[in-house]
Amino acid sequence: MANPSFVMQKVLDVSFEDRPVPKLNSPHDVRIEIKQTGICGSDVHYYTHGAIGSFIVKAPMVLGHESAGVVVEVGDKVSSLQIGDRVALEPGVPCRLCDHCKSGFYNLCADMKFAATPPYDGTLCRYYVLPEDFCVKLPDNVSLEEGALVEPLSVAVHVTKLADVQVGSTAIIFGAGPVGLLCCAVAKAFGATTVVAVDLVQSRLDLALDLAATHSFIPQKGDSPAESAAKIISLLGGKQPDFAIDASGAAPSVNTAIHVLKQGGHYVQAGMGAPEINFPITEFTVKEITAHGSFRYGPGDYQLAVALVASGKVDVKKLITHRVKFEDAEEAFKLVIKGQGVKILIEGPAPAA
């Protein structure tokens, strides 16, 4: 097969296809041979539900978008990369023309072509094409496995930058899935001296403590958000966090975050859950909390993520729990659905003969 690809046909129906080898569309493009791909919750959601909001899978689509690989072809005007370079793929290419793109918020571009977001194919294939400026070269001390985890780390970098975490501060992160865990690590790297991880699963909190968190908290069944907040403040010796990030999307976590924050604190919503929830508007208002939504990543986030890994400030390898061959890709999705593991990597197809 020239370009073996893992294709979602419809909900819970996937197959391997030999897709055409993609051609360079611009002299600034490069073709990458995919070597490692992580599974994201969005990939699994498309696999199980066929849609995320208004993005609906209407035709067969290659899954995957957390990838790293090796450059095998470069366009005539490519100047920053050469054949053989190992790169992390930033998998969303904006239009470059709209007001959002021109003002430095390209992640908000309405015409974004994002891998494995309908109708665009993803990276679970042998070859993928991107503009050179959406490939970040990996230093020699960063592996291709780590390179695949640069994508979720970049999400965490973007979230934590929006939170404006400061040196010497206290940060609390709700949800210890991959993004929440990485937000703990980035908050610590940004200088937070107290990092609290909140989750319902002790094993995830154990990983958070091993990775970066200084404290952990499991909400008790039956407690209100205000009661959980009071217990967290007690855990911190009476101190209220300066910054809160919700990476769970769960309404109780969102509410607890608002109750636990200090006056004038900063809050960022990173997790997605129910489309609408009850919200403690009075608490939010009288505390004069600054709140942000967070979507994907923007200028410099990928580069900073790579630098955090290369410097050893964030050890993304600790998140890897399973590794599977390309031909076993569907099994990897089933593991995620069963709630097994934290980050599962799928090896790229075997090199072409």
User: pLDDT tens, 259-278?
Assistant: 999 999 999 999 998 889 99
Q: How far is CA 196 from CA 76, 155, 209, 287, 295, in A?
A: 49, 19, 9, 20, 23
Sequence-distant (≥ 6) Cβ neighbours of residue 282 within 8 angstroms: none
Beta-sheet pairing, 127-131 with 113-114:
unpaired
Average pLDDT, the chain: 97
- The rounded distance, in Å, linking the Cα atoms of 170 and 241 is 5
**pTM of the predicted structure, to 2 decimals:** 0.96
Alpha helices in the chain (DSSP H): 41-49, 99-102, 144-148, 150-163, 178-189, 202-211, 225-235, 251-260, 281-286, 301-310, 329-337
Per residue in 228-244, pLDDT (tens digit) is: 999 999 999 999 999 99
